Amino acid sequence: MTITEIEKDFERDIALCATLPELQELRVKYLGKSGQLTVLLKSIKDLPPEERPTFGAKVNELRNNMERRFVARTDALKQDELARRLQEERVDISLTSCPERGALHPVTQIENEICDLLIALGFEVLSGPEIETDYYNFQALNIPDDHPARDMQDTFYITDSILLRTQTSAMQARVMEKRKPPLKIVCPGKVFRSDSDASHSPVFHQIEGLVVDKNITLCDLKGTLEYIAAHLFGEQTKVRFRPSFFPFTEPSVEVDLTCCNCGGKGCSLCKGTGWIEVLGAGMVNPYVLENCGIDSSKYNGYAFGIGMDRVAMIKYGIPDIRLFFENDKRFLKQFAK
């Protein structure tokens, strides 16, 4: 082939070349080790010596020209590719259909608020299993088999010894068993009981507080609860202890707050009493400490369990606990901040 023929072929080929891989093939065809131009250049030795310089110069000129054309064509193809992608992957930022913004569930908001308050007092937040053993949910908490206190909680059993925890108190024993006092922990989470009406749901939320140290008193418990009540319901809120019974606390108390609706005068929310019951609490029963390997002659403590759904109901005036679990956006939207 002559220089002119190769040049003509090349012009035709490169014009038809539409992709980068095709271009690469073309480069091999003309400039590769056994490419047409390389072969031509090798034939220089067959020429009479006087023709060689002119011939060599011409071939080199063509080679340089080809190189330039390859660079230019590569750039052009890359530009085309970019333009194509920009067109295909274009995002129409003027589209107005934004997805709706989510918000925290009202019970989650209460949980966060209470946790933040207790963290500020030096409590550590822990979480435990929702599927629990009979041992941690009952026995370790001084509720043996057949104890009448089991009737206070209608339990979902999975097997004879495995159940859905009925109270976050199950975490008390888990923690006390593993750690040495001083302990200052708080455990929020779901609990389950076979119960359903306007004020009971088969799943609801508790937050357990537990302090074990030396010389803890009911006053420490009351101070902590007053601090939480003041932040949740306002400074004027009063806390009242009424004697009660839980197998894992001794003494045990039922804790009432002055009604946040009427301020204690009596209204329909507090059924005219001026007080609203919000939680159970007490001093950790020495039997429970001993069950967990803690010396009850050295250490004592307090525990409380707050129903967070109930707190949210009181705070926001929600009449039916089941509203929390229906996922009706019209209801939930009202708590978006």
- Binding residues for ligand PHE, rule: CB under 6 A, are 167, 169, 246, 249, 280-282, 303-305
Least gap, CB of 100 to ligand PHE (angstroms): 36
d(CA 8, CA 140): 94
Least gap, CB of 237 to ligand PHE (angstroms): 20
Least gap, CB of 166 to ligand PHE (angstroms): 7
Minimum CB distance to ligand PHE smaller for 117 or for 152:
152
Least gap, CB of 280 to ligand PHE (angstroms): 3
d(CA 185, CA 303): 10
Least gap, CB of 170 to ligand PHE (angstroms): 9
Handedness of CA 132, 137, 140, 143 (dihedral sign): negative
> Closest residue to ligand PHE, Cβ-based?
305
d(CA 2, CA 25): 21
Which residues fall within 8 angstroms of residue 123, CB to CB, at 6 or more apart?
Answer: 184, 185, 186, 209
DSSP H or E segment with residue 8: helix 3-16
Minimum CB distance to ligand PHE smaller for 66 or for 168:
168
Least gap, CB of 208 to ligand PHE (angstroms): 6
Angle at 208 between CA 204 and CA 213, to 5 degrees: 175
DSSP per-residue letters across 160-196? SSEEE-S-TTHHHHHHHHHSPSPEEEEEEEEEE-S--
Q: How many CB atoms are located within 10 Å of the residue 25 CB? A: 13
Nearest Cα to Cα of residue 142 among 185, 191, 186, 176: 176
Minimum CB distance to ligand PHE smaller for 40 or for 207:
207
Tell me the three state secondary structure of residue 317: coil
Least gap, CB of 119 to ligand PHE (angstroms): 19
Least gap, CB of 246 to ligand PHE (angstroms): 4
Alpha helices by DSSP H, 89-168 = 106-120, 134-137
Minimum CB distance to ligand PHE smaller for 249 or for 258:
249
**Is it true that the peptide bond before 202 is cis, omega within 30 degrees of 0?**
no
Phi-psi map region of 90: left, alpha, beta (phi>0 left; psi -120 to 50 alpha): beta
- Which DSSP category does 324 fall into? G
